[in-house]
Structure 1
């Protein structure tokens, strides 16, 4: 796995943050792709997190802050990391990509980063920065797991 450094971007606040969010999504997906399903289901960390579990969690994260908290849509998404035998790398990556595409479509319609969310006392700016933070934190977890599994390093 070759290292893919952070994106070079000259843009405003929202576009810069969205560019880093998309970069982190792809880094996370790259860490899961190529793993055998049975290995991707296993936890290698004391917390019990697995590559597929993190993908499932992040699928919910893409929905919870933007759709549930900011827009006030129901239902509250699943945020757990539980993995079942039928979960595969392909199915979890596809679900994550679909949630990310749905989020990107919503982000494209939102311009006022000072707008306050429907359910939480948070601005859209806070939600965007927090989403980037959540992805960055879990990208680090995926880095560690992948290196423990097969020695692969890089973003």
Structure 2
């Protein structure tokens, strides 16, 4: 397996003192880390499962795109397992760009929310919407968890490390 140069770690963000600033600052930090793990990863290794569960690097970011859409944009996902696999025609650049566009759309929604206790806007037929506080905390947990998975998978793919 070829080894690439190691990257330096990016320290956690310095944020403003408010709860919303802290939550959004850490979420954006983790989003950037997750996308960076996939960006530039070589084909076809980026699609290969390196663990028995079948998890692969490209699929993780594809999944996070769907979680962002469901959480902040109210989009419905009917098959969560399917979100762990990008389409064969999707390139690394496609998946990274789609994730970044979804994050930008989610941030536009978040920019309009000033009270962490209010429900996240967006259609949720038959379901109550979570509070913004819950949604941000959930996305920090979800993105952090999968960014950690991506750290390991990227190192197995080409030796790249760091955030």
Instruction: Please confirm whether the aligned pair reaches a TM-score higher than 0.5, indicating the same fold.
Output: yes
Q: Which residue in the other structure is 1:51 paired with?
A: 57
Q: Which residue in the other structure is 2:84 paired with?
A: 81
> What is the TM-score normalised by the length of structure 1?
0.88
Give structure 1 regions of 4+ aligned residues with deviation exceeding 3 angstroms: none
Q: Deviations over 1:97-130 (max 9, x none)?
A: 0000000000000011111456336322111100
State whether structure 2 residue 148 is matched by structure 1 residue 140: yes
What is the root-mean-square deviation in Å for CA atoms of aligned residues? 1.7
Structure 1 pair 58/154, CA: closer, same or farther in 2 (3 Å)? same
Q: Deviations over 1:23-48 (max 9, x none)?
A: 11111111111211211111112221
Alpha-carbon deviation of 1:60?
Answer: 0.6
* Total equivalences in the alignment: 149
Residues 46 and 157, structure 2, Cα contact 8 Å, conserved in 1: no
> What is the TM-score normalised by the length of structure 2?
0.84
Unaligned 5+ runs, structure 2: 1-6
Higher relative contact order (Cα pairs below 8 Å, separated by 6+ residues)? 2
Residues 52 and 87, structure 1, Cα contact 8 Å, conserved in 2: no
Q: Deviations over 1:64-99 (max 9, x none)?
A: 11221xxxxxx4146411233211110000000000
C-alpha distance in 1 between matches for 2:56 and 2:143: 15
Unaligned 5+ runs, structure 1: 69-74
Aligned counterpart for 1:96 among listed residues 83, 94, 99: 99
